[in-house]
């Protein structure tokens, strides 16, 4: 009932069209009340803090405010200030470590919290309360008003993450920090950094220099990932890059200042072609001709998670030198990342080369195991022992459940939620990150518009995600995470396009109360954030304006259904090879297509103007979409 009351209050002023910015907040706060007054921010304002450990936050806020307003505001340690950042002397148990209270009146703004993390999140909310020009990078002369509100806010989940894969495409240190900046604005607190894979090793390991001398570089290739030509003998490897340890330290510090913990991933035993190219002796075949993959197709997929790797990309679990290697790697990785977790991958490991290897067969006999798949459990337990010796905890993809892992291991469920349910019922902590709701590399609109890869994931599906499945004890679900694999994502600009607005949906799923979820309300706030993103220069997808076209068969005829995610859209279409506009047929009910080589063209309009992409579908494509 408490949550319902707050939702009613929130929706009341949202639907009333209040002339302020309180109705655009993402993620939605736990509690929010509003009155009709506002605070006018002027150059006479000051940003004050009551505890010296909050100085860097006050300076961060001042910098952001001054960039757009040009006011030249100063940060001062004081109990008086028009914008006040106060740490509670007596902690409020309701707020925890990341919660905050924000109260704005005609006199000013006061943000209070138990910890600096809470103050930081209160600052992010404050920035969203200001007019959208605050997101810009140049001074704007205008009236800067903040609506009078009272907000009490704290997160639902402790783990609110995004993953960026920098192996498939290397992103510079500056790119990574910019991505972290965007994460922080939406109250994400965990950055999962996928640093190694078949296509590149991206972290300097001083005791193993070949990992970056060889493993960080691949031959230059263009075109769709998975269709690229294999490296030729003698061809120079010129594409790639890596982070020095000084780079890593700088990014870790930058993230920590924004209340973001970095979880590094060293993907083993599979996805290790870059490591094997550097040190072939770590593999079963010890093939010195192994090269870093440029995005070639070297795996045959059979469905049901079965596959065959035609090039060896897994470490040899029977070779003690592999564990010496891993000890060196994790010694240096553990020293660079202060967080408690190191991600060890564990996914999609092809074990065919293990089955053919005499040492692996001998190890299986020694261990008393009959199935080669169980060697992964042995490998992961060895890796976990190494991590424990460094004071770190193991987290891996849900395949680490295969063959058995210790109760202390944390499972990241990606193959749907099934692995997470299984792990939680076994007493493991779980991070829910399923392909079905959280894979941000998936196509977010019609796959004839966006470059096709793997599968599709609409914004509305992201927003419908519930990280705690029915029948699972919520205490084992640490939270959730969105994953951005970069096979088809070569630049930061495109990474932004694939991340947003779906990351906004996940931010609300992980932060806001489950009871407050409301799609119609959320989509209105998303459209407001589009405008603010334009000011900020942030790229994002407008796939919500593209009609969703599905088909079914009825009495031998193809029936076409069209719908839209965003509100207020009108859908127009043609089947006569004419270009559609708002004077052609308007969609109102499923359309039965006549026989023949029909091409359906569809576009959405709002307020008499086209919005979104033109979608063109030939008959064979429509037939492929048929649902039984």
Band the pLDDT of 6: cuts 50, 70, 90: very low
Looking at domain 546-627, does it have CATH number 2.60.40? yes
**pLDDT at residue 500 tops 70:** yes
Residue 304 is predicted with a pLDDT of 77
Mean pLDDT in the chain?
A: 94
Is 348 catalytic? The answer is yes
Q: How far apart are CA 322 and CA 314, in angstroms?
A: 11
Among 283, 118, 278, which Cα is nearest to 202's? 278
Can you give the pLDDT at residue 404?
Answer: 80
Q: Hey, is 508 helix, strand or coil?
A: helix
Query: Tens digits of per-residue pLDDT, 190-201?
Result: 999 999 999 999
Higher-scoring residue by pLDDT: 182, 628: 182
CA dihedral angle for residue 29, residue 30, residue 31, residue 36, rounded to 10 degrees: 10
Q: How confident is the model at residue 299 (pLDDT cuts 50, 70, 90)?
A: very high
**Cα end-to-end span (Å), the chain:** 42
Q: Is the link from the previous residue into 501 a cis peptide, with omega within 30 of 0? A: yes
Would you place residue 402 in the very low, low, confident or very high pLDDT band (cuts 50, 70, 90)?
confident
Q: Which two structure tokens, joined as six digits, stand for 337?
A: 């990342």
| pLDDT computed for residue 306 by the predictor | 87
Whose tokens are 């594409």? That residue is 239
CATH for 2-153, among 3.30.379.10, 3.40.640.10, 3.40.50.1000, 3.20.20.70?
3.30.379.10
What is the CATH code for 159-512?
A: 3.20.20.80
* Active-site entry in 194, 271, 343, 613: 271
Residue pair 503/440 in contact (Cβ under 8 Å)? The answer is yes
Confidence of residue 522 (pLDDT cuts 50, 70, 90): very high
What value does the mean pLDDT take over residues 439-454? Answer: 92
Kindly list the strands in the beta sheet with 591-592, ordered across the sheet, starting from the edge strand earlier in the chain.
Answer: 591-592, 557-563, 548-554, 626-627
pLDDT at residue 477 greater than cutoff 90: yes
- Tens of pLDDT, residues 101-156: 999 999 999 999 999 999 999 999 999 999 999 999 999 999 999 999 999 999 99
Indicate if 271 belongs to the active site.
yes
Residue 8's pLDDT is: 38
Long-range pairs for 412-418: beta carbons < 8 A, 24 or more residues apart: 412/343, 412/481, 414/347, 414/439, 414/483, 415/305, 417/469
Confidence check: pLDDT of 15 > 80: no
From-to residues of CATH 3.30.379.10 in the chain: 2-153
Catalytic residue among 265, 319, 348, 546: 348
Domain with CATH 2.60.40 in the chain: 546-627
> What number is the average pLDDT over the span 599-618?
97
Whole-number percent of the chain with pLDDT over 70: 96
- Position 10 scores a pLDDT of 43
Tens of pLDDT, residues 21-57? 678 999 999 999 998 899 999 999 999 999 999 999 9
* 143 CB burial (10 A radius; 0-12, 13-18, 19+): exposed
pLDDT attached to residue 418: 94
Q: Is the pLDDT of residue 451 over 90?
A: no
> Where in the chain is CATH 3.20.20.80?
159-512
Structure tokens at 239: 């594409």
Determine the average pLDDT of the residues in 524-550: 97
Catalytic residue status for 446 = no
In this structure, are residues 162 and 255 in contact, taking their beta carbons and an 8 Å threshold? no
Given 197, 398, 446, 487, which residue is catalytic? Answer: 197
Helices 245-256 and 173-185 pack at an angle, to 10 degrees, of 10
How confident is the model over 314-371, as pLDDT tens digits? Answer: 999 999 999 999 999 999 999 999 999 999 999 999 999 999 999 999 999 999 999 9
Q: Residue 3 pLDDT > 80, yes or no?
A: no
């Amino acid at each position: 009932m408490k949550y319902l009351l707050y939702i009613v209050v929130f929706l009341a002023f949202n639907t009333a069209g209040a002339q302020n910015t309180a109705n655009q907040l993402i993620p939605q706060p736990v509690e929010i009340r509003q009155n009709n007054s506002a605070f006018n921010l002027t150059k006479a304002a000051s940003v004050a803090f009551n505890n010296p450990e909050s100085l860097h936050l006050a300076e961060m806020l001042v910098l952001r405010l001054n960039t757009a307003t040009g006011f030249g505001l100063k940060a001062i340690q004081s109990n008086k200030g028009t914008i006040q950042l106060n740490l509670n002397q007596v902690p409020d148990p309701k707020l925890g470590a990341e919660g905050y209270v924000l109260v704005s009146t005609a006199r000013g703004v006061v943000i209070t919290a138990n910890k600096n993390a809470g103050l930081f999140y209160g600052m992010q909310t404050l920035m969203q309360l200001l007019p959208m020009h605050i997101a810009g990078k140049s001074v704007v002369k205008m009236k800067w008003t903040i609506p009078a509100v009272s907000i009490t806010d704290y997160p639902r989940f402790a783990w609110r993450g995004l993953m960026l894969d920098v192996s498939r495409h290397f992103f510079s240190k500056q790119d990574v920090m910019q991505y972290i900046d965007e994460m922080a604005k939406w109250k994400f607190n965990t950055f999962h950094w996928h640093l190694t894979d078949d296509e590149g090793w991206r972290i300097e390991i001083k005791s193993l220099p070949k990992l970056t001398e060889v493993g960080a570089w691949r031959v230059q290739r263009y075109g769709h990932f998975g269709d690229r030509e294999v490296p030729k003998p003698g061809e120079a490897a010129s594409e790639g890059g890596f982070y020095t340890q000084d780079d890593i330290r700088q990014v870790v510090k930058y993230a920590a200042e924004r209340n973001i913990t970095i979880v590094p991933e060293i993907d083993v035993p599979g996805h290790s072609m870059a490591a094997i190219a550097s040190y072939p002796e770590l593999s079963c075949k010890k093939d010195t001709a192994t090269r870093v993959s440029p995005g070639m197709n070297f795996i045959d997929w059979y469905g049901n998670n079965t596959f065959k790797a035609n090039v060896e990309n897994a470490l040899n679990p029977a070779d003690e030198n592999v564990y010496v290697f891993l000890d060196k790697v994790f010694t240096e990785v553990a020293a660079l990342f202060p967080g408690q977790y190191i991600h060890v991958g564990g996914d999609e490991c092809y074990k065919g080369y293990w089955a053919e290897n005499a040492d692996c067969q001998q190890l299986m006999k020694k261990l008393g195991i009959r199935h080669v798949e169980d060697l992964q459990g042995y490998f992961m337990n060895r890796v976990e022992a190494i991590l424990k010796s460094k004071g770190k905890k193991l987290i891996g993809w849900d395949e680490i459940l295969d063959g058995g892992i210790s109760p202390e291991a944390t499972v990241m469920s990606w193959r749907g939620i099934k692995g997470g349910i299984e792990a939680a019922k076994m007493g493991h902590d779980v991070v829910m990150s399923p392909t079905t709701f959280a894979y941000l590399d998936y196509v977010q609109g019609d796959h004839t518009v966006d470059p096709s890869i793997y599968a599709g994931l609409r914004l509305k599906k992201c927003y419908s995600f519930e990280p705690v499945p029915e029948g699972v004890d919520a205490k084992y679900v640490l939270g959730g995470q969105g994953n951005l694999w970069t096979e088809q994502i070569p630049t930061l600009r495109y990474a932004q396009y694939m991340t947003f607005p779906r990351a906004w949906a996940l931010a609300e799923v992980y932060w806001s109360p489950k009871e407050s979820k409301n799609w119609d309300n959320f989509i209105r706030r998303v459209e407001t954030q589009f405008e603010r993103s334009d000011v900020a220069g942030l790229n994002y997808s407008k796939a919500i304006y593209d009609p969703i076209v599905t088909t079914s068969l009825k009495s031998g005829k193809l029936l076409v259904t069209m719908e839209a995610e965003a509100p207020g859209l009108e859908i127009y279409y043609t089947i006569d090879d004419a270009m559609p506009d708002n004077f052609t047929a308007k969609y109102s009910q499923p359309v039965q297509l006549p026989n023949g080589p029909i091409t359906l063209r569809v576009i959405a309009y709002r307020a008499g103007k086209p919005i979104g992409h033109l979608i063109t579908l030939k008959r064979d494509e429509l037939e492929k979409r048929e649902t039984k």
